[in-house]
Structure 1
Amino acid sequence: MKKSIYILSLFAGFWATAQTGIDKTSGFGASSLLEFGSANNRGILLTPVTDVTAINATPGTIAFDGATGSFRYYNGSWSTVVPGGTTSGSPANTDKTTRGAIINADTSTAEGVLILGKDSGETKGLVLPLVSAPELNIGNPPKGLMVYDTTNGYIKVYNGTSWTNF
């Protein structure tokens, strides 16, 4: 009997799939790698990067440009996703050039703090934290905070002075 249970549990791993949740334990979307619970008014904070052009970026990289206060997207070249508000001074944090956490793969050639999936052929993505009217419900947001606004249906980012939609 023990042998049968052992063999069954060994083969059960072949059919299992894994998804990661933060403040969430069930109800994952079929096409998500990483999801956030909706119990708290929290977002994803991207550390401001001093010079995005210095990053050895992989297509699909999103970075918060601390110099311009905007989100930048890399797909062979850098483009502005969201125009930022005016910012003053230099960002408190800078980009780390070492590889960070990798989700849904053992290794990756991509560089970044959080790498979702494999280098190519991935069909799953990130589900942002769901927040109703973040400008009303998140007090003192840090510069670079990103959430999905469930009230208005936008991805919103805080650029240090105001919330911007994209």
Structure 2
Amino acid sequence: MKNIITAIAVVFVSISIHAQIAIGKQAVSNTSVSLEFDTTENRGLILPYVETKTGITENGTIIYDVTDHKVKYLKDTGVWANLSEDDGTAATIGTADIAIQTLKTDSNSAKAAIGTTAATDTTPGVLVLTDANKAMVLPKVANPHLSIINPAAGMMVYDTTKRQLAVYNGTVWSFWKP
């Protein structure tokens, strides 16, 4: 666990990185990958908790929206698509404790960029993958709804059993299949 926390801290503390990044393992397994997570532990990627979407304009941005407790991505300028739906009942509406972040001041210039154009990239975001020919591989977890004991709101993984994207809204997992 210390290795994963250390690796994530290194990524976010860096202003820019010019390489492929493996978290929880020695190297990426594919040259088409910018950021890849180890598959040996039941952990996921936790998205930024966002209190207001004002000013977010970069299509493809993925966030955890604390106003309605849903994981969302910016599909088209001003059009947010939900990745974690609920049926409106208390059993499925997401929750998140954001008390720890409400006392903090955001740094608008804080950013980690990974890729060959990281040093010159001006795309807004906390973590930006700059290569146009590489992707991020989500953490892979078999049955995350059973395997991840205490998931955080905004967690995202690839479910290797169902072969689906899985997102957690703080209450329930939603599964997405293309």
Q: Same fold (TM over 0.5)?
A: yes
Q: How many residues align?
A: 146
Give me the CA root mean square deviation. Answer: 2.2
Runs of 4+ in 1 over 6 A off after TM superposition: none
Q: 1:101 aligns with which of 88, 112, 125?
A: 112
CA contact (8 A) 1:62 1:73 kept: yes
Distance 1:88 1:58, change over 3 A: closer
Distance 1:88 1:20, change over 3 A: closer
Q: 2:165 aligns with which of 151, 155, 161?
A: 155
- The alpha-carbon deviation at position 88 of structure 1 amounts to 5.4
TM-score by length of structure 2 reads 0.73
Mapped partners of 2:120, 2:70: distance in 1: 30
Identity of aligned residues (%): 36
In structure 2, the partner of 1:63 is 63
TM-score by length of structure 1 reads 0.78
| Higher RCO (C-alpha under 8 Å, 6+ residues apart) | 2
Larger radius of gyration: 1
In structure 1, the partner of 2:126 is 113
Distance 1:91 1:30, change over 3 A: same
| Cα offsets for 1:65-114 (capped at 9, x unmatched) | 11112122222223223125414576333694333111012132111111
Q: 2:155 aligns with which of 145, 157, 165?
A: 145
In structure 2, the partner of 1:130 is 140
In structure 1, the partner of 2:6 is none
Mapped partners of 2:65, 2:136: distance in 1: 20
